[in-house]
Amino acid sequence: MPSKRQLQRTAVAVGLLALIALSGCAGLSDTDSSTPSATQTPTAASTTSPSTIESSPSTPSATPTPTASPTTPNTTLLDQFPAGLTDTGLSNVTQMIRAHQTTAIKTPGVVTHRTHTNASTISIAASVRVAAERNLTRVQYVAQGQRITRNGTQNTTTAITANETSVRQYTVTDGNVTLDNRRNRTELFTRGLRGLSTARGPLQGALNRGNFTVTNVSKVDNTTSVVLRADQYAGGQRYNAQNIVTYNATVRITASGLIRSATERIVTERNENKRQYNFRYKFKPQSVNLPQRPQVPASIRLKSGDDSDS
């Protein structure tokens, strides 16, 4: 029977993965200027229930209502629209995210995304790089976060690497290793890795916040892509629509449903205080060859008396 200490360490490890998997909706809310929300890259392990790793928010944002496009894009290159999309625009965020995840998981490649939120007294930046082999047989996730306030700067780097049977987790906060373990790859971990490797959290947040319409359909290198653009904020819990000063977002998605790139920019103003949020995402299909045994990348592993990656 596992000891109490072992159970606590397992809960911490799974909680950290759950928190990261749900990242992407992170940033500063303009609805309560006194309390900034959590950074995208957690600085401490969480006790979040593992069952929330793949679940939707308890109060999801309403599906955006498409607005009329000023021009009519040529859609003859499409045999059919990607799931969740019609000729008038985005119709179902959940369907689009599911199709994206299904295609991305089957496609070896590298996902990168970056968020930057800043206000008068705080700045939060997070950059993520995920390399994954086909069907997520091996995954390497690295997130680097920086939080700057009047009290100082906090830097955090988290690495999660996995093969088909085990997961290695490693976190460094301000030069100190705060988590370093290896676990069996359970179904809970696999669910979390699906979210991380496909950027599910930040993409779903961006899609829910905009009134997206189809602006272009093109074919490059035998790949047909649809470009969506939103210049109107659709609403959500994090930002009050009355405070929006600037909003725009773009998404490029293939006919198979794979989201290849996305951007989002939000500027809010409340009580003469401006806050900005910027998000950029890219998926690059390419050959990925990760180590057979999950390892912490040498570039982020702190040197010690024993430098072995045990």
Q: Could you read off the pLDDT of 112-149 as tens digits, one per residue? A: 999 999 998 999 999 999 999 999 999 999 999 999 99
Given pLDDT bands bounded at 50, 70 and 90, which one contains residue 63?
very low
Q: Could you read off the pLDDT of 218-250 as tens digits, one per residue? A: 887 788 899 999 999 998 878 899 999 999 999
Instruction: Give Cα separations from 81 to 6, 96, 217 (angstroms).
Output: 49, 11, 10
161, 290 Cβ separation under 8 angstroms: yes
Average pLDDT over residues 183-204: 96
Give the 3-state secondary structure percentages of the chain, helix then strand then coil, rounded to 5. Answer: 20, 40, 40
What pLDDT shows up at residue 53?
30
Q: Is the pLDDT of residue 269 over 80?
A: yes
Average pLDDT over residues 55-68: 41
Question: SS3 string of 157-215?
Answer: EEEEEECCCEEEEEEEECCEEEEEEEEECCHHHHHHHHHHHHCHHHHHHHHHHECCEEE
